[in-house]
Amino acid sequence: MTPIVDLSAILLYLSAASAAVVPRQDSANATTFDVTSGDKAKVKDAAPVAISIEFFAFPEYVQVLGNTAQCLKNLGDAAGAATRIRIGGTTQDRATYDPSSTAAVTYSVDDPADAPANLTYGPAFFELASHLSGPATIGLNRRLNDISNTIAAAQEAVERMDNLFAIELGNEPDLYTDDDPIANHQTWSPSLDAQIQVDWQRQIATALHRTSIIQAGVFLQPPAFSIAELGPLEQAAGSLGYVRSWADHAYPQSACGGATTDLESLQNHSGIVKFVGTFRGEVDAAEEVGEGRPLVFGETNSATCGGGGISGTYGAGLWIVDYVLQSVKLGYERLYFHHEGTIGNSPYSWWGRDQVFSPYYGAIFAASALNDAAYMTQLDASTSHLAIYTFHASNDTLLRAVILNTQYYPNTTTAASRPSETVVLTGLEDGESGEGKGKVKGKRLTARWSGLEVAYGESPTFGGQRFNGESCEAEGEEVWEEMDVAGGEVTIEVAASEAVLVYF
């Protein structure tokens, strides 16, 4: 039976459970938020927390890793709908389809940690993808300018995959160069890319006898290449009917070319709000071309070029929570978090051969918050490290609230108190919240410090539970914190680098 404990009792329990737990320092003043306030934003997809898997590595994820199926199922269970998958990335533009191959993928590398410079794949690739439980988007090659080969691959995908959502034509064309075959000795530019995208969409959709089949754009962080430019050109060319969805890629930080990353700024609430806000033009552009086509982050994670040492941290999990909620609030329907590269050499990945990594806990938290929500609101003003969200059913019933304290908490060997904030939610109805009169309950996402990584022997917990590295099954008793509602108010304490998901 799932235990329900008093909030003060759970804090005492956590402190007593481990001498390593740092005591909380109560905030001198509470911050109050009215749950009846805020502008409602529509939650457009049933499972916004989605997964992107690098093209060449996909077969290994589903054939070799024994925990992949359960990790995907956990996300789907948390969301209340099957996890959406995108298979693509840099190596989709290095891949050639071989209909005679009996292997899912074939390639060779000098170093097992490397991604292949070229590869072939066969019908078995699509057979594997057909067994995914959720809608799947497949990224195919455009860079090599072999449209006949891409059409053959697309036909096989349509033939085998009842779960096919869309097909991408190329990956991040803003990174193509004049020397790439697709440029055909022309100067590569946004207008040339748009012209070729539209032409390829028409040829491939016609060959498939399909409309609404292409995930268009697939750009790395506009505005240089953007839906804002492509959308009107699609409209003018009469090719919108081929487009199922629009996709941007997004990485708030970069580790490329020796650039440094910073976890404290990654998980900072105000910084997350500012970064997501730079995509407002893309949301507006997608709405202007009309007909309700989804706009997604088709590939995203914390930092380009491998994550720069921050992607596998607990702080990255907190970033995921806030980043997902800000993106959904802005108008993006899904965020496909990229799992890059060779198993065991993929800092972005949420799970590996025998471990479930810290960011996965944030993904489960975010998916749980959005479960069955029709609308969400942000109650805070984006000016501090506190992020406060509420989630509502289609009949306006208040379902949940997220209390997220993004204040960075570094590793410390001292006994210094861990800062905390006291949050008061008002506007509640006494006696109509939670399972008992005048009470609500919640689950806490916590870890010893922001930079904690499972690879070094410690795990975060969500509701007192961890995920087994080999099976991805939740372990330990699920712990619910029970909080009193009095006078239409409930008080919740959340320490630096913690989050609480409150259920009403």
Indicate the residue among 318, 345, 373 that finishes a domain.
373
* 51, 92: one domain: yes
* 141, 289: one domain: yes
* 362, 424: one domain: no
Residue 480 inside a domain? The answer is yes
* 488, 347: one domain: no
Number of domains in the chain: 2
Residue 338 inside a domain? The answer is yes
Taking Cα atoms as reference points, which of 341, 381, 339, 334 lies closest to residue 360? 339
Q: What pLDDT does 291 receive? A: 85
Residue 450 inside a domain? The answer is yes
Residue 6 inside a domain? The answer is no
Indicate the residue among 321, 350, 373 that finishes a domain.
373
Indicate the residue among 319, 345, 373 that finishes a domain.
373
Does the bond joining 223 to the residue before it have cis omega, within 30 degrees of 0? yes
User: Using CA atoms, how far apart are residues 124 and 387, in angstroms rounded to an integer?
Assistant: 45
Half-sphere exposure at residue 363, Cβ-oriented, CA atoms within 13 angstroms: 32
- Tell me the DSSP string of 13-58: HHHHH-TTSPPEE--SSEEEEETT-S--EE---S--EEEEEEGGGH
* 348, 450: one domain: no
* 221, 257: one domain: yes
Helix (H) or strand (E) holding 97: strand 95-97
pLDDT-flagged residues of the chain (< 70): 1-28, 413-415, 431-437
CATH of the domain at 490: 2.60.40.1180
CATH of the domain at 187: 3.20.20.80
Q: What pLDDT does 345 receive? A: 81
Residue 15 inside a domain? The answer is no
Residue 3 inside a domain? The answer is no
* 85, 167: one domain: yes
Residue 17 inside a domain? The answer is no
- Which amino acid is it at 36? T
Q: What pLDDT does 437 receive? A: 54
φ and ψ of 154, to 5 deg: -65, -40
* 246, 312: one domain: yes
Give 168's strand partners: 139, 215
Q: What pLDDT does 415 receive? A: 55
* 156, 303: one domain: yes
Helix (H) or strand (E) holding 246: strand 243-250
φ and ψ of 215, to 5 deg: -95, 105
Q: What pLDDT does 169 receive? A: 98
* 52, 35: one domain: no
Residue 4 inside a domain? The answer is no
Range of the domain at 435: 31-40+376-503
Q: What number of H helices and E strands is found in the chain?
A: 12, 28
Q: For the segment 403-438, what is each residue's pLDDT rounded down to a tens digit?
A: 999 999 998 766 578 999 999 999 998 754 444 458
* 275, 136: one domain: yes
DSSP-assigned letter for residue 296 = E
User: Using CA atoms, how far apart are residues 232 and 238, in angstroms rounded to an integer?
Assistant: 10
* 181, 127: one domain: yes
Q: For the segment 235-261, what is each residue's pLDDT rounded down to a tens digit?
A: 999 999 999 999 999 999 999 988 999
